[in-house]
């Protein structure tokens, strides 16, 4: 994809500039035009979508869809909620200074390749520091506290001293009238990094209080180890499912994982048979949740015994002259119980055993 610019008003901004400086791959490319992007950038290719309220336009440039944004300034009339656009076509400086951290407030000229740095972002990238652009940043948008954790884990950066103090101040005085959809998005992105450091810091620094004021103690477990052992693909819920998530607007499937976990907490798991019956068919997320937030041992035991299966079937029982009834389930359970004690049992041995019942 090739974009040429003669105006000098087209800039790469945000994550893509930061990631290039860090030598990392970037997943999306944000481009702003200092002025009205809809008027200026629609000529780069076929226009896919226009959003006049935000001054953005999506254009298909040689087969690649690119979002062009107009420079815009924003204000937060209601702290913790989405900002409103103040002015479309403001200066580049105003546009970058409304952002979250200095390292995300860098721009790069498409025409000259020159980096534009209004906030000391280059120095902070070199020093590995996350620094907010003004003292009210977390009050305007508390999701930035979770974003700081995400970036810090992703890049190995630390919070600059004043930013850390502002985080502590905010966490001591949280506004629960906020947009939890955005909080949820950041929680998902942070914990899908599957990082023990993020787990420890989320609870130890009290960041979890953004989601629920109920005090919670972090379990002393290694979560990535459990996630790997159980085989969870998308692990964010394993990291936060021990706390009250009612503010996060969970999907039905997410809620089911939590409900199943609650049920398991009240299920006896005193021997192999009880463990097998309780965990059989349970989603990996629920298993891992149990291991992290309730008890690790029964889950580890389940992973050792889960592949033990009985060989006899309903047809076998029928050919032994046993009529189909709910007795079948009792027989299968009795044989399974025996097989868990003696996993090498052959099918003949299973049949011999069931005839003793």
Question: Which residues contribute to the site for ligand CTP (CB under 6 A)?
Answer: 14-15, 27-28, 30, 99-100, 104, 141, 143-144, 147
Q: Which is nearer to ligand CTP, 194 or 282 (CB)?
A: 194
Separation of alpha carbons 18 and 121, rounded Å: 9
Structural contact between residues 9 and 33, judged by C-beta atoms closer than 8 angstroms: yes
Which residues make Cβ contacts (< 8 Å) with residue 138, sequence separation at least 6? 132, 144, 145, 166, 167, 170
CB of 326 to ligand CTP, least distance (A): 54
CB of 19 to ligand CTP, least distance (A): 7
**Would you list the DSSP string of 83-126?**
-EEEEET--HHHHHHTSSBGGGSEEEETTT--EEESSSHHHHHH
Separation of alpha carbons 352 and 357, rounded Å: 9
CB of 229 to ligand CTP, least distance (A): 28
Q: Which is nearer to ligand CTP, 144 or 201 (CB)?
A: 144
CB-neighbour burial class of residue 254 (10 A; exposed 0-12, middle 13-18, buried 19+): middle
Separation of alpha carbons 203 and 146, rounded Å: 12
CB of 100 to ligand CTP, least distance (A): 4
Q: Which is nearer to ligand CTP, 120 or 219 (CB)?
A: 120
Cα–Cα nearest to 108, from 6, 20, 27, 35: 20
Token look-up 């290719």 returns: 45
End-to-end CA distance of the chain: 73
- Crossing angle of helices 252-265/284-293, nearest 10°? 50
Q: Which is nearer to ligand CTP, 40 or 99 (CB)?
A: 99
Q: Which is nearer to ligand CTP, 99 or 209 (CB)?
A: 99
**Rounded to the nearest 10 degrees, how much is the dihedral formed by the CA atoms of 129, 135, 141, 144?**
10
Helices (H), the chain: 15-21, 37-41, 92-97, 121-127, 137-140, 143-155, 161-171, 180-191, 196-204, 223-230, 236-240, 252-265, 272-279, 284-293, 297-305, 314-319, 327-341, 347-355
CB of 14 to ligand CTP, least distance (A): 3
Separation of alpha carbons 136 and 133, rounded Å: 9
CB of 154 to ligand CTP, least distance (A): 8
CB of 252 to ligand CTP, least distance (A): 26
CB of 173 to ligand CTP, least distance (A): 19
CB of 67 to ligand CTP, least distance (A): 10
Token look-up 């599957």 returns: 194
Q: Which is nearer to ligand CTP, 74 or 338 (CB)?
A: 74
Token look-up 């990082």 returns: 195
Q: Which is nearer to ligand CTP, 193 or 334 (CB)?
A: 193
């Amino acid at each position: 994809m090739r974009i040429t610019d003669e105006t000098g008003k087209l800039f790469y901004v945000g994550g893509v500039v930061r990631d290039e400086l860090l030598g990392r791959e970037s997943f999306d490319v944000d481009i702003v035009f200092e002025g009205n992007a809809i008027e200026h950038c629609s000529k780069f290719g076929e226009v896919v979508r226009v959003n006049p309220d935000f001054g953005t336009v999506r254009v298909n440039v040689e087969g690649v869809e690119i979002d062009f944004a107009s420079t815009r300034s924003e204000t937060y009339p209601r702290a913790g909620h989405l900002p409103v656009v103040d002015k479309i076509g403001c200066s580049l400086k105003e546009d970058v200074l409304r952002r979250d951290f200095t390292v995300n407030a860098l721009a790069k000229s498409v025409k000259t390749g020159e980096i534009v740095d209004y906030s000391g972002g280059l120095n902070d990238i070199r020093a590995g520091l996350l620094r907010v652009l003004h003292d009210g940043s977390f009050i305007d948008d508390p999701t930035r506290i979770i974003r700081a954790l995400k970036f810090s884990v992703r890049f190995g950066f630390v919070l600059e001293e004043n930013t850390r103090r502002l985080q502590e101040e905010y966490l001591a005085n949280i506004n629960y009238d906020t947009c939890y959809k955005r909080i949820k998005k950041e929680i998902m992105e942070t914990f899908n990094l599957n990082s023990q450091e993020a787990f420890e810091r989320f609870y130890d620094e009290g960041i979890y209080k953004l989601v629920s004021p109920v005090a919670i103690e972090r379990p002393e477990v290694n979560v990535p180890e459990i996630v790997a052992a159980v085989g969870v693909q998308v692990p964010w819920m394993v990291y936060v499912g021990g706390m009250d998530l009612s503010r996060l607007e969970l999907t039905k499937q997410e809620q089911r994982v939590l409900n199943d976990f609650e049920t398991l907490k009240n299920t006896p798991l005193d021997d192999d048979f009880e463990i097998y019956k309780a965990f059989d068919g349970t989603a990996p997320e629920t298993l891992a949740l149990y291991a992290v937030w309730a008890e690790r041992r029964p889950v580890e035991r389940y992973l050792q015994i889960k592949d033990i299966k009985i060989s006899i079937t309903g047809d076998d029982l029928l050919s032994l002259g046993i009529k189909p009834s709910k007795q079948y389930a009792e027989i299968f359970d009795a044989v399974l119980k025996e097989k868990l004690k003696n996993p090498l049992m052959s099918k003949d041995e299973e049949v011999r055993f069931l005839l003793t019942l």
